[in-house]
Chain A
Amino acid sequence: MDETEQPQDGPTPSPPAPGDDPFDELGRLLLRGGTLEEVLARLTQLVAGSVRGADGVSLTVTGGGGARTAASTGGLAVALDEQQYASGRGPCLDAARGATVVRVADTARDADYPDFAAAAREHGVRSSLSVGLPARSRVPGALNLYRVDAPVQVDAEGEQLASLFATFAAVALVNAAGSGAQAARTRYLHVAVRNRALIDQATGIVMAQEGCDADRAYDRLVERSRSADRPVLEVAADLVAAVDRTTGERPD
């Protein structure tokens, strides 16, 4: 790695340790339970440290509520991303949409994205490369590399490396989406335990109120919920809350 190729934007990222594969480092970070933000932030730093000409690096995610920058090496990349989001047009958006590679070889001559090219020139950026995340991962997005000094984009080897990083980013995003589902299931279990307890306790209160058995008490709860046109759970929660109010605080 050429030491002169340090990015000029944001805090200087530590390059991969000598002899260390940046993908190994990312894998270890994932295994250690690093958060998605940590993994993606480190990923953009490693791209900047490993790909020649990657002076500003960002990861655009376009799923859900519009495009946003999930991670970046700093203000330069963020500014150029946001110019594209605001105008609704730009190489990173096209790369994300088509899951393809979009190059802007020279911002001084580019005809495809005149607004982006103008904004890039203002920031001193001469070329860019956006690598769309693989379509099969179903997370639309792009890894963006902005180059300051030269009108010629990163070389083929760099582009291949950038594609590998893009794939890794997609894997991390997909995994995080999966763990979001797991978190929802954990909440479901908590709710399942609490709701059962509430309905059971309310059943007991009705049993004591009416001197009936559990089945009859549950039926009474359902009747109350029907006539009040409210869910059984709410009726139960109100009963328990009322009892806890009238029995007051513990004396201790």
Chain B
Amino acid sequence: MELVERFTRSWMAEAADDGGELLPSVLARAAAAVLNADGAGLSLMSGPGLRLPLGASDDDAATAERLQFTIGEGPCFEAFAAGRPVTVTAGKLQERWPSLAPEHLGRTPYRAGLSVPLRQGAERFGVLDLYLRGATAPEGHDVIAAQLIAEVVAGVLLETIGPDAGEGDAPSPGSPSAWLDSPAIRRRRDVWVAVGMANLKLHLSSDDALATLRGHAYASGQTLDELAREVVQDRFDLQELRADAEP
């Protein structure tokens, strides 16, 4: 329990003296610190196309999340789908997720990692991603420790939601109405707006529209969030994707 106590002290101290940083990022940083990881991210998930970046310990961790969401696969998706921790090394990344590997290895400093589902009972609602600069993936005791911290993180997030989430008073940094409306989440929401535009302009079903946008983002070296923003701001013409979208 010493680990949990250190974690709790750590995030509470940071949450107390910080000028309004959102709770999930504070939790991500505290998780990285107690678990000796170089970065950590928290995401909320409700399916392969529905993922919100809740918080990240730093920009590199945020980038790692965006790259995975761009490709649409990776350890984070697998941890959520399978409901168990997924460890990763550079080798495994290349073997298992060949599209993601060069992006992740080329654009972030991380070489290994561990993704753990956030859950309440049997119900999963997100993922804690831990990123390491070293080559070795966590194993054994470290994986168990990460699961323990993920459990505490899940409890803190759910506790914060409170009985009357989403309504009423002005959001405080600790409240879910604030952390469900963070800049990172607003950027992510452009993806769904872009999907709606592609639905109509390219006459594509939602799944195909998302896949087409993902494909183009990947091919053009952008994150899906970046491409979506250009689409929504009318700086990218979806008609250019007509060829990509042909069956």
Residues of A at the B interface (CB closer than 8 Å) are: 179, 181-183, 185-190, 192-194, 196-198, 200-209, 213-214, 240, 243-244, 246-251
Give the docked Cα–Cα distance between A247 and B203 (Å).
6
Cβ-based interface call for B234 (8 A): yes
Q: Mark out the residues of chain B between 58 and 99 whose CB falls within 8 Å of any chain A CB in the assembled complex.
A: none
Residues in chain A near residue B166, CB distance under 8 A: 188, 192
What is the minimal beta-carbon distance from B1 to any residue of chain A, in angstroms? 12
Beyond A193-B50, A240-B206, A250-B205, whether A185 also contacts B158 by CB under 8 A is yes
Min Cβ gap B3→A in Å is 16
Residues of A within 8 A of B195 (CB): 201, 204
A-B contact count (CB 8 A): 120
Q: Is B52 positioned at the interface, with any CB of A under 8 Å from its CB?
A: yes
Inter-chain contacts of A196 with B (CB < 8 A): 52, 180, 189, 192
> In the complex, which residue of chain B has the Cβ closest to the Cβ of A211?
B234
**Alpha-carbon distance between A41 and B115 when the two chains are bound, in angstroms:** 36
Q: How many residues of B contact A (CB 8 A)?
A: 44
The interface residues of chain A lying within 8 Å CB-to-CB of B46 are: 189-190, 193-194
A218 CB, nearest partner CB in chain B, Å: 10
Question: Which residue of chain B is the closest to A179 with respect to CB atoms?
Answer: B121
B232: shortest Cβ distance to chain A, in Å?
A: 6
Could you tell me the distance between the alpha carbons of A206 and B120 in the complex, rounded to whole angstroms? 37
For residue B2, CB closer than 8 A to chain A, the reply is no
Which partner residue on chain B sits nearest A187 by CB separation?
B123
State whether the Cβ of B175 lies closer than 8 Å to any Cβ in chain A.
no
* Minimum distance in angstroms from B53 CB to a CB of chain A: 12
The answer to whether A244 touches B180 (Cβ under 8 A) is no
Output the least CB separation between B54 and chain A (Å). Answer: 10
Q: How far is the CA of A248 from the CA of B207 in the complex (A)?
A: 11
Question: Which residue on A lies nearest to B207, using beta carbons?
Answer: A250
Q: Indicate if the CB atoms of A183 and B120 lie closer than 8 Å.
A: yes
Residues of A within 8 A of B45 (CB): 193
Residue of B44, B155, B234 near A193 (CB, 8 A) is B44
Q: A208 contacts which of B123, B165, B196 (Cβ < 8 Å)?
A: B196
What are the residues of chain B within 8 A of A246 when measuring CB–CB? 203
**Given the complex of chains A and B, what is the CA–CA distance between A187 and B46 in angstroms?**
10
Across the interface, B193 reaches (CB within 8 A) one of A189, A200, A244, namely: A200
Closest to A208 in B: B200
Which chain A residues lie closer than 8 Å to B158 at the CB level? 182, 185-186, 189
Shortest distance from the beta carbon of A153 to any chain B beta carbon, whole Å: 39
In angstroms, Cα B175 to Cα A192, docked, is 14
Partner of B200 from the list A179, A197, A205 (CB cut-off 8 Å) is A205
B205/A205 in contact, CB under 8 A: no
By beta carbon, the residue of chain A nearest B177 is: A192
B163 at the interface (CB under 8 A from A): yes
Beyond A203-B193, A213-B234, A243-B196, list 7 extra A-B contacts (CB 8 Å). Answer: A188-B165, A193-B44, A202-B196, A204-B192, A207-B193, A207-B232, A208-B197
Q: Is the CB of A204 within 8 A of B189?
A: no
**Pick from A181, A189, A204: contact of B196, CB under 8 Å:** A204
> Lowest 10 A-B CB distances belong to which pairs?
A204-B196, A200-B192, A208-B200, A201-B196, A204-B193, A204-B197, A205-B196, A247-B205, A193-B46, A185-B161
